Structure 1
Amino acid sequence: MTTAPSSSLPAARTYAWAGVALALLGAAFFATKGIVIKLALHEGIDTVTTLTWRMIVAVPIFVTVGIIGYRKKLSQRAAGAPPVLDRTTLLQVFGVGLIGYYLSSFLDFAALEYISAQFDRLILLTYPFFVVLFGAIFFKRRITVPMVAALVVSYVGIAIIFWHDLGVEGDGVLIGASLVFAASIFYATYQILAKPLIDKLGPQLFTSLAMSAAGPAVIVHFLVTHPFGDLAVTGNGFLLMLAIGTISTVLPAYCISAAIGLIGPERTAIIGNVSPIVTVTLAIAVLGEAFTIYHAIGTVLVLGGVYLFARKGKPKIADQEVEP
């Protein structure tokens, strides 16, 4: 039996710590999305305009990285091997991209006009439950008792926050919660459909193509519903538009991607569960959102249910870095 040279152990520990740090950074950056959208709303910039700016800033970066990755795959392809990308695969990726980065993103962004950033984040966090449900319905996958228990725990937590906020803020909470639940359903659908495509193309090329489909769809949506001049934002608004595309989208994507390479997808996913905690903290500190005993109990239950779910049979979902 051979053992690793002792000199390689410090390097391995360094890579592991670097992976953990990158996973934490990625989770923290992703957690800023709802905060930036809320700040944009305070500046008078609606969610469709913010989503459009997100695409304007982020898509060219993802596409550039995707072109580099595609050329690398072409150079590594053996003679006589099947093409890296065929028409059928391209159309599938475009369709999946529209589900994840247009439909799900639009619904999630729109929900923030009605509910708090922290509540939105907690509901979206439960999308793996829908992955399991769809797996059971369409692929006859088994649902275990611990998975059901984890689901019940999380949704009791959501119900506590929902009933409190509904009594304080009115029917808008029902609209917002419905929108983000719909976003979660579409994101779960996206995760199921994206998995084989990511396995085939790799995350970088897949993301570039998916964003390439969603970006024009978002821009068309904007042009149908807004005058072109609404894109002209200045001052703090412009900084927020840059932030939604870079800090909340591009930077976390590459942090998470690097973390997966260093410590693997499972550990990265577990560390990523700190993201809602960061969102809650920022929502209270930056936005001044209320955090009552009901929010505290609900948050603990949601996070506890998600943790139990991850331990007791989390479904195989796409190792995909970009959230809706």
Structure 2
Amino acid sequence: MTSTAVPADTLSAIAARRSMMIGYLYAIIGALLFASKGILIKLVYQHGLDAETILTLRMLFSLPFYLVIGIVTVAEYRRIGRALPGIGLVVKSILVGLLGYWLSAYLDFIGLETISAQFERLILYTYPFWVVLFGVAFFGQRAKPTALLGFVVSYAGLALIFTQMTAAPGQDVVFGVLVILGAAIAFALYQLFAKNLIATVGPQLFTCIAMIGAAAIIIGQFALTHPISALAVNHTVLIYSIILAVGTAVLPAFFMNAALQRISAQANATIGMLSPVCTIFLAMGILGEMLTPTDWVGTVLVIAGIAWFTVFDRRKAETTAEAAVN
């Protein structure tokens, strides 16, 4: 009896598909974890804290994780003989990290002071549009009409979900909308700039470098604008801050960057639109808010748009991989 060896190109294609599916899974987990952020921040705001204090507490509790994981990762690189990133890559990683983990987060927190968490999710998750726009304009990427159809369907669903939740326009609302839009643009730029750095530095080490750099700026900003005594919070806020640190900063960052290593920034961004839908379900369980028939229709449209884009992106990547091996 003779055994037939599997061709190397077939094994390569199978490995590429498996890596892509893992990337989709990581992106979904990251989106689910991010979904709770707005609700938790709104709960903390009820205790009279401001954006700078909440952001600093979040970073103080998450920073030890990044320091430990960073040290372990550096030790592993040395053990296997992998070169550590040079000073240039470290500086680039810090600067890109400031886009996603300081500027975007800070603008997001400020915006949540004036608009609802549901409205914040709608505006923030326009960032896939900016990923595509900037990708086409500055990064040599192409946007296919069939992929854009997924955006149209998802945004139609999001519009349905949030239309009845918007308040009458006012000075504070306009400011909040503009600030959250700035957060979305900053996060889109982060995704585009981070992808190549993640591939070079590695997702874990890049995340640690980026987060430690962002933490230094956030803590420094707080020290310049607040007394240290402002960090003396009650037990409830302390618990919320720990959950914000681990559940909406540490874990999502690693899952998102691991996803970016395996799938395109556009696919990662589009799958991330699950987050607003998850926010609604969390609001039902935590805040007692119920879904209307319009909300259900919108939810179906969002999921349908994400599914369409994901299938299209997967087929496009598989076609590219097959063309490369052939």
Alignment TM class, shorter chain as reference: 0.7 to 0.9
Report SS of the residue matched to 1:237.
Answer: helix
Any unmatched runs of 5+ in structure 2?
7-21, 318-326
The answer to whether structure 1 residue 69 and structure 2 residue 73 are counterparts is: yes
Cα deviation, residue 168, structure 1: 5.1
Counterpart residue number, 1:50: 54
Report SS of the residue matched to 1:189.
Answer: helix
Write out per-residue CA displacement over residues 245-274 of structure 1, whole angstroms, 9 at most, x where no aligned residue.
12322244566789999xx768x9698665
Q: Is contact 2:195–2:260 with CA below 8 Å preserved after alignment?
A: no
2:37 pairs, out of 33, 40, 44, with 33
Deviates more, 1:168-177 or 1:224-233: 168-177
Q: Is contact 2:198–2:257 with CA below 8 Å preserved after alignment?
A: no
Q: Residues 134 and 47 of structure 1: is their aligned pair in 2 closer, same or farther, counting only changes over 3 Å?
A: same
Q: Is contact 1:166–1:174 with CA below 8 Å preserved after alignment?
A: no
After TM superposition, the structure 1 = structure 2 runs for residues 21-170 of structure 1, keeping only pairs within 5 Å, are 27-77=31-81, 83-160=83-160, 163-167=163-167
- Within 1, Cα distance between the matches of 2:248 and 2:67? 17
Q: Residues 27 and 100 of structure 1: is their aligned pair in 2 closer, same or farther, counting only changes over 3 Å?
A: closer
Counterpart residue number, 2:213: 213
Q: Residues 227 and 188 of structure 1: is their aligned pair in 2 closer, same or farther, counting only changes over 3 Å?
A: same
Q: Percent identity?
A: 39
State the AA in 2 paired with 1:56: L
Report SS of the residue matched to 1:165.
Answer: coil
Any unmatched runs of 5+ in structure 1?
4-17, 317-324
Q: Residues 310 and 120 of structure 1: is their aligned pair in 2 closer, same or farther, counting only changes over 3 Å?
A: farther
Q: Residues 54 and 182 of structure 1: is their aligned pair in 2 closer, same or farther, counting only changes over 3 Å?
A: same
Q: Is contact 1:165–1:173 with CA below 8 Å preserved after alignment?
A: no
Q: Residues 92 and 129 of structure 1: is their aligned pair in 2 closer, same or farther, counting only changes over 3 Å?
A: same
Q: Is contact 2:157–2:302 with CA below 8 Å preserved after alignment?
A: yes
State the AA in 2 paired with 1:98: L
Cα deviation, residue 198, structure 1: 0.6
Write out per-residue CA displacement over residues 153-180 of structure 1, whole angstroms, 9 at most, x where no aligned residue.
3334444456533445755444333322
- Within 2, Cα distance between the matches of 1:284 and 1:173? 24
Counterpart residue number, 1:12: none
Aligned residues: 296
Cα deviation, residue 133, structure 1: 0.9
- Within 2, Cα distance between the matches of 1:255 and 1:279? 18
Cα deviation, residue 281, structure 1: 1.1
TM-score (normalizing by structure 2): 0.76
